[in-house]
């Protein structure tokens, strides 16, 4: 009777240990997946920052060009009159 109970307890302990190992493997896999995803998102974020800065610079250059063209046109109009 005692040895049968002992076998049941050992069997239960083995199952618990195997389940714990499986859970650790799943958690580890999910962790690595999320870490990889976070790394990709950081790279994409940096790329978007660079693109944003480029667009801001282009916007400033466009405004400056518009101002210069306006000054030139006004000068031409004033000269013609």
* Model pLDDT for residues 24-64, shown as the tens digit of each residue: 999 999 999 999 999 999 999 999 999 999 999 999 999 99
DSSP string across 2-67? HHHHHHHHHHHHHHHHHHHHHHHHHHHHHHHHHHHHHHHHHHHHHHHHHHHHHHHHHHHHHHHHHH
Please state the rounded mean pLDDT for residues 12-33.
96
pLDDT tier at 2 (50, 70, 90 boundaries)? confident
Q: Say what the pTM is.
A: 0.60
């Amino acid at each position: 009777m005692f040895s049968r109970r002992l076998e049941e307890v050992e069997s239960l302990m083995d199952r618990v240990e195997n389940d714990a190992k499986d859970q650790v493997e799943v958690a580890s896999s999910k962790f690595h997946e999320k870490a990889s995803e976070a790394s990709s998102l950081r790279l994409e974020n940096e790329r978007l920052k660079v693109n944003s800065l480029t667009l801001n610079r282009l916007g400033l250059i466009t405004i400056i060009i518009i101002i210069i063209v306006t000054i030139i046109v006004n000068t031409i109009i004033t000269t013609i009159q």
